């Protein structure tokens, strides 16, 4: 695994970084479904924030355009991480199903 990907994964696992809130380990004894729902909600929240700031930037109601740029980048990175995790889960499922055949 490339060092940048490893660093991003470690930051996400420790709850730091752009996508850390979406993929941090749950602190309570919840189920996997609860953790997955929480991660999806966090991704949606990040994208909603980016959309809100983008609208404010376009309408001239945003003081610092860097805030909108950072939010958009954060949303993009979070979505890429969610997509990568999904792809790895599908690959793992397919490998397990191939073992049974």
pLDDT for residue 29: 63
Give the residue carrying structure tokens 């953790």.
35
Q: Parse the chain into domains and list their residue ranges.
A: 29-100
pLDDT for residue 30: 74
The pLDDT tens digits for 71-94 are: 999 999 999 999 999 999 999 999
Distance in angstroms (rounded) separating the CA atoms of residues 94 and 17: 30
Q: What is the mean pLDDT of residues 23-51?
A: 83
Residue 16 pLDDT greater than 80, yes or no: no
The pLDDT tens digits for 17-26 are: 444 444 555 5
Contact (Cβ atoms closer than 8 angstroms) between residue 18 and residue 77: yes
């Amino acid at each position: 695994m490339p060092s940048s990907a490893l660093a991003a994964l470690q930051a996400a696992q420790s709850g730091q970084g752009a996508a850390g809130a979406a993929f941090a380990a749950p602190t309570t004894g919840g189920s996997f479904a609860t953790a997955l729902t929480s991660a999806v909600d966090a991704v949606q929240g990040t994208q909603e924030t980016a959309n809100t700031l983008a609208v404010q930037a376009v309408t001239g109601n945003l003081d610092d355009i860097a805030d909108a740029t950072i939010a958009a980048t954060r949303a993009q990175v979070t979505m890429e991480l969610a997509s990568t995790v999904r792809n790895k889960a599908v690959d793992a499922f397919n490998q397990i199903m191939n073992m049974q055949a």
